[in-house]
Structure 1
Amino acid sequence: MPRTRSTGGPTDESIFTSAPVTYREVFDIARPAAEVWAELVSDAPLAWCRELSLDWTSPRPFGVGTTRQAKVLGALKVQERFFIWEEGRRQAFEVTSANVPVFRRLAEDFVVEPDGADRCTLTWSVGLEPTTLGRAGGPVNALLFRRLFAQTRRHFPA
């Protein structure tokens, strides 16, 4: 598979507020935080998102430096590396390479916060620096993330 390396330099959490393109969705979930976290780190994370296929490429236990492969819409293949890992609460990854040069940098952040014994909040944030090709696909990206967020809302009812 030809690879396009991320060219934007090291990624940190500032990308979630400073990137040219950002998406953020907050989900109020009627399930304990531990259950939601368990789904995010399962052998099939985000399985409810039909456009995604994710496979861990690092052994457990997961932490900073953990890697994963993702396939988006069956065509875009990316390698991910987690740069934030707070077990049971937060995980954030950056894309380190992709088979299509649609972004300079892309990162996603998932924060799970308890809101009582049987409720929690999940915040999913995305920061994206598109390439020229990626800017042309901006409407497709916006539609994709709207769909992923809608599928997550259906999977985790309030």
Structure 2
Amino acid sequence: MTRWYPLEPADADFLASAPHVFRYEKLFAAPPEKVWESLTSDESLAAWGPSIRSVTWTSPRPFGVGTTRDVVAPGGATMRERYFRWDDGRNHSFYVYESTLPAFKRFAEDYLIEPDGDQTRFTWVVAIEPKNAVALPVKIMAPLLKAGFGRIPAGGVGYFAKT
């Protein structure tokens, strides 16, 4: 039986104030509508490359504030996410409310899509507060975590270059 660990809720303020905030900006060779369509598709980020194994939306469409989904990482860790912001076609943010990985006190992400000529500027923020027991290891490994998370938007660059 899978063991789930609860996390504390997070909000927009946490995206700037968390102990670890990783920010990525990438240009995608696609219009904003196509990027948004990909983010809210059944595969979502899992279609961009191997950095996400699967995404399962657990709320019915249409999506909005309160929408939930499960995301499985390559190692099998699963995060249950709840959206607290949803500006259709432009921006959405969620926090993880439960995970099979017992490392986090709070975890949130923000996705922003903006037109940039005939491309899309994709800005992604990952905000993490580790549990006290792993705070020092997470601090030491923060550059590796940032690089690892960075593979996701880099995968988006390749994905949209091919579609």
Quote the Cα distance in structure 1 between the aligned partners of 2:78 and 2:135: 15
SS in structure 2 of the partner of residue 24 of structure 1: strand
SS in structure 2 of the partner of residue 156 of structure 1: helix
SS in structure 2 of the partner of residue 39 of structure 1: helix
AA matched with 1:109: D
Tell me by how many angstroms 1:12 deviates.
0.9
Provide, for residues 129-149 of structure 1, a one-character-per-residue CA deviation record: whole Å limited to 9, x for no partner: 012236525355234213223
Quote the Cα distance in structure 2 between the aligned partners of 1:109 and 1:22: 11
**What percentage of residue pairs aligned between the two structures are identical?**
38
Quote the Cα distance in structure 2 between the aligned partners of 1:151 and 1:28: 11
Please show how residues 9-158 of structure 1 align to structure 2 within 5 Å: 10-46=9-45, 47-52=47-52, 53-116=54-117, 118-131=118-131, 132-133=133-134, 135-137=136-138, 138-139=141-142, 140-157=144-161
Quote the Cα distance in structure 1 between the aligned partners of 2:17 and 2:137: 20
AA matched with 1:141: L
Quote the Cα distance in structure 2 between the aligned partners of 1:26 and 1:151: 12
TM-score, length-scaled by structure 1: 0.89
TM-score, length-scaled by structure 2: 0.86
Quote the Cα distance in structure 2 between the aligned partners of 1:148 and 1:31: 17
Tell me by how many angstroms 1:14 deviates.
1.3
Instruction: List gaps (5 residues or longer) in structure 2.
Output: none
Instruction: List gaps (5 residues or longer) in structure 1.
Output: none
Task: Answer whether contact 1:101 1:133 (CA < 8 A) is retained.
Answer: no
Quote the Cα distance in structure 2 between the aligned partners of 1:19 and 1:150: 23
Quote the Cα distance in structure 2 between the aligned partners of 1:25 and 1:153: 12
Tell me by how many angstroms 1:34 deviates.
0.5
Task: Answer whether contact 2:32 2:114 (CA < 8 A) is retained.
Answer: yes
Provide, for residues 34-57 of structure 1, a one-character-per-residue CA deviation record: whole Å limited to 9, x for no partner: 011100001110121312121100
Whichever structure has more helix as a proportion of its residues is 2
Task: Answer whether contact 1:67 1:79 (CA < 8 A) is retained.
Answer: yes
